[in-house]
Chains A and B, each alone.
Chain A
Amino acid sequence: MDFTLKIWRQEGPQAVGHMATYQVTDISDEMSFLEMIDVLNDQLVRSGDEPVAFDHDCREGICGMCSMFINGEAHGPNRLTTTCQLHMRSFKNGETITIEPWRAAAFPVIRDLVVDRSSMDRIIQSGGYVSVNTNGNTVDANALPIPKPAADEAFEAAVCIGCGACVATCKNASAMLFVAAKVSQLALLPQGQPERTARVEGMVEQMDLEGFGNCTNTGACEVECPMGISLDHIARMNRDYLTAKVANKG
């Protein structure tokens, strides 16, 4: 298969970026999207050019590092799929493919397709945990039975890989789905109850400080989320947030 690639190139955080056009040929349909970019980079290095910088690590859809906006969609055309799990059989021979970085004020570009997502770490640092020290003296794990439906729903929120596709895809660059996934996971579990109020307040405040936009419930994040995290978690977070605010005023 042959493709024309239009890729965002930007030398550094302060540099002016532009779209550059490249050709790749003899691409097998078995290749992953990132392996196709490897082929392009090999070509660029051999011809004395600088390769396209892009984030990637596990290449099995779980680390959340890969982050490409492909033909106007976060992680490309397939649902429930990260960029690294996208394969070239999902494209037509001869197609032109446009590749951009995640675009959001809270995700500044570092180079080419690589962006800085440390804002998401800082949100977690503002309360996305249960405050329990390591000491080996907590109660026996089975002393705390958790109804299976609650455990399962918490798990569905906990699978968030923190890739930022929800932010990249939202017209407001909102991080609500990401934040809600963590808030909801811990709100569903008994371990999360003591800090439930402080957690949602702390994380939402940090989210606003980082410059993420507001949620207008378009649901685009849910569609593009490679882990299929549901908008229901945003509803749960909003309810918790409102409760927290009302309680604090009282």
Chain B
Amino acid sequence: MLDSKIPDGPLADKWTKHKDNVRLVNPANKRLIDVIVVGTGLAGSSAAASLAEMGYSVKAFCFQDSPRRAHSIAAQGGINAAKNYQNDGDSTYRLFYDTIKGGDYRSREANVHRLAEVSASIIDQCVMQGVPFARDYGGMLDNRSFGGVQVSRTFYAKGQTGQQLLLGAYSALSRQIGQGKVEMFNRHEMMDVVVVDGKARGIIARNLITGEIERHSAHAVVLCTGGYGNTFFLSTNAMGSNVSAAWKAHRRGSYFANPCYTQIHPTCIPVSDDAQSKLTLMSESLRNDGRIWVPKHSKDVEAIRNGSLKPVDLAEEDRDYYLERRYPAFGNLVPRDVASRAAKERCDAGMGVNKAGQAVFLDFDSAITRYGSTEANVRGIENPTAEEVRALGVAAVEAKYGNLFQMYQQITADNPYETPMKIYPAVHYTMGGLWVDYNLMTTVPGLYAAGEANFSDHGANRLGASALMQGLADGYFVLPYVIGDYLADDIRTGAISTDSSEFDEAEKSVTARIDALLNCGGKTPVDDFHKKLGQIMWNKCGMSRNAIGLREAITEIQALRERFYKEVCVPGRADQFNQELDKAGRVADFLELGELMCKDALERNESCGGHFREEYQSEDGEAARDDKGYTHVSNWEYTGVPSEAALHKEELVFDNVELKTRSYK
């Protein structure tokens, strides 16, 4: 039976009481305790830095050449916090409620409330670190609004918020490395978790420069290794983002929760050709000012596709601003899952505006005019010409989104100030992940998961600007408090030896896997298999799914996995820098996880958030939840074959909010 260890008492008091009751480790004893942190994104860097500041001996690992490059760096739009600086009625409760509702009532009340509670401290902490958030002319912090909410609670640093927050956490981590309290292992990949007497006691890592297999022991292991969006091959994740650490933990006993909850982000640059290696997000913040549309009539779609009609020349009454039409209350700021499905619906109806029919417009024309008029008023320009207004408006839009517009132009060669952007949904974030209790511990004692790697806070759909909030909340303000409760038992344990049968066994299994990949003798490059897996996942377990397709996908993935081990070609040796080998190991794990994602999607006979089962929808095409049957977390226990994993349910109890049909109309 899964025990989520949610503290008793009223929702708003749980975290405070829990902090008061968890056991502490005294400063002298902390020095005797080792903690391994894998991954150095927002969750990992902040956790490693905070744990070291407290006095623990920390070892941190990342596969990149520097901890500063973890993929949190690419987050654009912002970070939410219930500061109510805009005096628009925001509060801890509202942030909690919006997140629960945005997650389509599939997350834990207590975790989400804690997240909302600590959100304000994150902003204070980051500002003190020197994170240059956007400010207004009075020198105060500026906010913007994001999808799925009706207040402005998002703090931002142009379109580079993730970069600035990560560099803040990286600087805190660097300070601890400089003081010798964190030992940093760059270019190291975690290959396995070592479990001794039922507790996580270390990892096997591979030095990616020399290929050396290393044993590292600790009293606890924290996985902050991100999400699994790259199962789809094409996603907004970095090329190296992978599920391997989490998957190895799963194979060693950690349950994998809700793997089918995948977030497809509505505003990404569409696929251009077959060699495409990744997709690029255009921040959701653009939906604050951009209006999304496709033509109303097929003849105009044709003309735009063949270039005989410029989108700017299409008359206003011939455009279909479909989000504003379908969802008048939230308009272009509906949550991501809703916006993505609406784009797919229009493109499936033949209204897509690029050659492949897989794109919609994101148009800034009215924002440019609106900002331009305001700016003309501010400057006291009477009766400004249209050109003057436009120039002022372009400058205002540039100040807000300049780097995003520049990025768009670099990739597409189109100037988004003059012609609307073309966008299409792409895989972006994964709400599922390792199951954790309220203390962020997985089902393996001493093995923790934080940030995107765990499942806990976003339910079936994450709201924009909440991933950065969760990563830093877990790392700065949750793990440091809760981990002591477990480590208090280890003050007399002493250093964990790496000279044990468990470490021997783990190292042997790692070496055997590497040998199997290198000696397979096939002729097909790794990427071929990854791309095929991606196609299966996108077509059958993507923006919408159905039982028939999911069953087919499971069989196809099993066959693909079998072929992989017979036909894959991994050149080079194990004892050298070998990127094909790194990639092969990661794809091998995606080939198992993909199957489990389909199994989970097949088992969940309802539509909720990012999980849309075609069989379960309302008359007007909205997701139809089944609260009687599925108000639970689906946790999968590894049994050997991914689709034969054993299901363990954690029932979700809602004491504070009423489950409603999510409506953004």
Residues of A within 8 Å of B174, CB to CB, are 121, 124-125, 128-129
Residues of B within 8 Å of A41, CB to CB, are 525
A16 at the interface (CB under 8 A from B): no
Report yes or no: A126 in contact with B178, Cβ–Cβ below 8 A: yes
Give Cα A242–Cα B622 distance, bound, in whole angstroms. Answer: 65
Residues of B within 8 Å of A65, CB to CB, are 64-65, 69
Report yes or no: B580 in contact with A130, Cβ–Cβ below 8 A: no
Give Cα A141–Cα B153 distance, bound, in whole angstroms. Answer: 14
What's the nearest-Cβ distance from chain A to residue B186, in Å?
Answer: 6
B163 at the interface (CB under 8 A from A): yes
Give Cα A126–Cα B124 distance, bound, in whole angstroms. Answer: 24
A39 at the interface (CB under 8 A from B): yes
Report yes or no: A121 in contact with B476, Cβ–Cβ below 8 A: no
Contact with B along A42-68 (1 / 0, CB 8 A): 100110111101011111111111000
A171 at the interface (CB under 8 A from B): no
B572 at the interface (CB under 8 A from A): yes
Report yes or no: B410 in contact with A87, Cβ–Cβ below 8 A: yes
Asked if A118 meets B141 with Cβ closer than 8 Å, knowing A87-B413, A141-B124, the reply is: no
- Closest residue of chain B to A192 (Cβ to Cβ) is B130
Question: Please, how many residues of chain B have a CB less than 8 angstroms from a CB on the other chain?
Answer: 81
Kindly identify, within residues 163 to 199 of chain A, every residue whose CB is under 8 Å from any CB belonging to chain B: 185-186, 189, 191-192
Asked if A130 meets B74 with Cβ closer than 8 Å, knowing A57-B238, A116-B65, the reply is: no
Kindly identify, within residues 105 to 158 of chain A, every residue whose CB is under 8 Å from any CB belonging to chain B: 110-111, 114, 116-118, 120-121, 124-134, 136, 138-142, 144-148, 151-152, 154-155, 158
Asked if A128 meets B480 with Cβ closer than 8 Å, knowing A12-B577, A142-B85, A189-B130, the reply is: no
A92 at the interface (CB under 8 A from B): no
Contact with B along A185-226 (1 / 0, CB 8 A): 110010110000000000000000000000000000000000
Residues of B within 8 Å of A36, CB to CB, are 275
Report yes or no: B71 in contact with A63, Cβ–Cβ below 8 A: yes
Report yes or no: A38 in contact with B527, Cβ–Cβ below 8 A: yes
Give Cα A92–Cα B175 distance, bound, in whole angstroms. Answer: 47
B561 at the interface (CB under 8 A from A): no
B177 at the interface (CB under 8 A from A): yes
Asked if A121 meets B175 with Cβ closer than 8 Å, knowing A35-B275, A134-B49, A159-B163, the reply is: no
Contact with A along B488-510 (1 / 0, CB 8 A): 00000000000000000000000
Report yes or no: A141 in contact with B83, Cβ–Cβ below 8 A: yes
Residues of B within 8 Å of A98, CB to CB, are none
Classify the interface of chain A: helix, strand, loop or mixed.
Answer: loop
Give Cα A81–Cα B409 distance, bound, in whole angstroms. Answer: 11
Report yes or no: A134 in contact with B476, Cβ–Cβ below 8 A: yes
Report yes or no: A63 in contact with B53, Cβ–Cβ below 8 A: no
A245 at the interface (CB under 8 A from B): no
Give Cα A87–Cα B66 distance, bound, in whole angstroms. Answer: 26
B278 at the interface (CB under 8 A from A): yes
- Closest residue of chain A to B69 (Cβ to Cβ) is A63
- Closest residue of chain B to A163 (Cβ to Cβ) is B69
Report yes or no: A57 in contact with B240, Cβ–Cβ below 8 A: yes
Residues of A within 8 Å of B125, CB to CB, are 132, 134, 136, 138
Report yes or no: B129 in contact with A130, Cβ–Cβ below 8 A: yes
- Closest residue of chain B to A27 (Cβ to Cβ) is B275
- Closest residue of chain A to B159 (Cβ to Cβ) is A62
Q: Which of B88-96, B164-172, B257-265, B290-298 contacts A (4 or more CB under 8 A)?
A: B164-172
The 8 Å CB contact of B139, one of A46, A132, A146, is: A146
Give Cα A9–Cα B571 distance, bound, in whole angstroms. Answer: 16
What's the nearest-Cβ distance from chain A to residue B55, in Å?
Answer: 11
A162 at the interface (CB under 8 A from B): yes
Residues of A within 8 Å of B239, CB to CB, are 56-59
Give Cα A42–Cα B178 distance, bound, in whole angstroms. Answer: 41
Given A87-B413, A158-B130, 7 new contacts (CB under 8 A): A12-B576, A64-B66, A125-B178, A136-B125, A136-B477, A141-B126, A189-B132
**Complex A-B: 28 CB contacts under 8 Å:** A28-B273, A31-B273, A35-B276, A36-B275, A42-B527, A46-B523, A50-B571, A59-B239, A60-B74, A62-B163, A81-B410, A118-B65, A121-B68, A124-B68, A127-B178, A129-B171, A129-B172, A129-B175, A132-B129, A136-B477, A140-B124, A142-B140, A144-B127, A154-B130, A155-B157, A161-B163, A191-B128, A192-B130
| B-binding residues in A (CB < 8 A) | 11-12, 28, 30-32, 34-36, 38-39, 41-42, 45-46, 48-51, 53, 55-65, 78, 80-81, 85, 87, 89, 110-111, 114, 116-118, 120-121, 124-134, 136, 138-142, 144-148, 151-152, 154-155, 158-159, 161-162, 185-186, 189, 191-192
Closest 5 CB pairs of A and B: A145-B139, A129-B171, A125-B178, A136-B121, A155-B132
